[in-house]
């Protein structure tokens, strides 16, 4: 690894090659029909975000209720 250029590190070179291969596969016309469209990904992301927010709210409510039940004085 060159101290002046961290992009020559073997792990970075491998990562760039792997990403390049995946991008080339995504751009190929034979595989465009596979996978989810942008709208589907947006819907999936929104659902996952909603689940995460709900879980966070439930945890916060339980912690707040428990903290309020502790007698301090």
Query: How far, in Å, are 15, 20, 21, 34, 39 from residue 31 at the CA level?
Result: 22, 16, 13, 6, 18
The pLDDT assigned to 2 comes to 47
Residue 73: its pLDDT value, please? 78
Condensed to tens digits (0 to 9), the pLDDT of residues 4-56 reads 677 777 778 888 888 888 888 777 756 556 566 888 888 999 999 999 999 99
The alpha-carbon radius of gyration of the chain (Å, integer) is 23
């Amino acid at each position: 690894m060159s101290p002046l250029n961290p992009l020559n590190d073997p792990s970075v070179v491998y990562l760039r090659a792997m990403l390049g291969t995946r991008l080339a596969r995504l751009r190929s016309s034979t595989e465009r029909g596979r996978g989810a469209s942008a709208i589907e990904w947006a819907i999936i992301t929104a659902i996952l975000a909603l689940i995460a927010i709900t879980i966070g709210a439930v945890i916060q409510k339980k912690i707040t209720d428990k903290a309020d039940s502790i007698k301090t004085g």
